[in-house]
Amino acid sequence: MTMESCPDLPFVIGGQTFTSRLIVGTGKYRTNDEMVAAIRASGAEMVTVAVRRVDLDRSHEEGILHHLDPDEFFLLPNTAGCYTAEDAVRYARLGRAAGLNDWVKLEVIGDERTLLPDTAATLEAATALVADRFRVMAYTNDDLVTALRLEDAGCVAVMPLASPIGSGLGVVNPYYIREIKRRLSVPVIVDAGVGTASDACITMEQGVDGVLMNTAIAAAANPVGMARAMRLAIRAGREAYLAGRMAAREIAVPSSPTSGMLDTESS
């Protein structure tokens, strides 16, 4: 019997190995210093960024590359905010032209209130981007058939949501998430909806390869503290999954021996 944790497989996406199964976003932080401190505390290597117009009236305002060193973090450009496949492809190409890498976190939104993905447009954009030699990590909903099609389209990772972006509702359909993980060969990374450490842990306990989050850390009262909690939760959830949980049953089973009890006093 060893005290070591269960042996884990390396976390490989698109031919690149990562040690942290936590991927974090860079949006919504109060300050850049707080963002960098939180990302370091999270232990994440892969970090998402968005592509936006330079603000010309305040051109002294710095882009995020002034704060995040691409040698320290693997920066993953996203297509957040895009509502059509055409726009998503355009944003992905602009992100690649920055010269960091040929990866993209593909996101094509279909509904403003829920920010749920337009899965048809996501599939269309994924197909176009793969043909253009991108390594595509596709945000999608928790629908198995779409996940399978995104894998067939050549995505290097498929990223079903736990619940809507920024909602903090946690994983609302663990069965669907487990089934997607069971059926896909590429990494399955749950993207969006995690609210706190227990959500991250429960998500990892479903057996998925990783979790991507932003608001849960950035909107915490203490983002650096939450980032550390998330790092531990991801690790705990992964180890619990590898260790194999006990079977749940709806009746109690004593933990202590039922034999060897003393005689009860009878009156």
Partner 1 sequence: MTTPRSGSGNPGELVTIVLNGEVRSVGAGLTVAGLLRSLELHPGMVVVERNRAILPREALQATPVEEGDRIELVHFVGGG
What is the distance between the alpha carbons of residues 4 and 180, in angstroms, rounded to a whole number?
A: 29
Number of residues this chain uses to bind partner 1 (CB under 8 A): 37
Instruction: List the one residue from 192, 201, 202, 211 that touches partner 1 (CB under 8 A).
Output: 192
Looking at this protein, which amino acid is placed at residue 219?
A: A
From residue 150 to residue 179, the character string flagging contacts with partner 1 as x (rule: CB under 8 A) and all else as - is ---------------x--------------
What is the distance between the alpha carbons of residues 173 and 202, in angstroms, rounded to a whole number?
A: 11
Q: Does 97 bind partner 1 (CB under 8 A)?
A: yes
What is the distance between the alpha carbons of residues 52 and 94, in angstroms, rounded to a whole number?
A: 10
From residue 57 to residue 96, the character string flagging contacts with partner 1 as x (rule: CB under 8 A) and all else as - is --xx--xxxx--------x-xx-x---------x--xxx-
Q: Does 49 bind partner 1 (CB under 8 A)?
A: yes
**Structural element, H or E, at residue 159:** strand 157-160
| Number of other residues whose CB lies within 10 A of the CB of residue 237 | 24
What is the distance between the alpha carbons of residues 210 and 215, in angstroms, rounded to a whole number?
A: 16
Q: Does 122 bind partner 1 (CB under 8 A)?
A: no
| 181 has catalytic annotation | no
User: DSSP string spanning 55-108?
Assistant: -GGGTTSPPGGGTS-TTTSEEEEB-TT--SHHHHHHHHHHHHHTSS-SEEEE--
Buried b (16+ CB within 10 A) or exposed e, 189-198: bbbbbbbebe
- Given CA atoms 30, 35, 37, 43 in this order, what sign does their dihedral have? positive
Task: Write down how long the chain is.
Answer: 267
Instruction: List the one residue from 11, 18, 29, 134 that touches partner 1 (CB under 8 A).
Output: 29
Q: Does 54 bind partner 1 (CB under 8 A)?
A: yes
Q: Does 26 bind partner 1 (CB under 8 A)?
A: yes
CB 250, min distance to partner 1, A: 38
Q: Closer CB to partner 1, residue 88 or residue 149?
A: 88
CB 129, min distance to partner 1, A: 14
Question: Which residue numbers are catalytic?
Answer: 105
Residues of this chain that interact with partner 1 (CB under 8 A) are 25-29, 35, 48-54, 56, 59-60, 63-66, 75, 77-78, 80, 90, 93-95, 97-99, 165, 192, 212-215
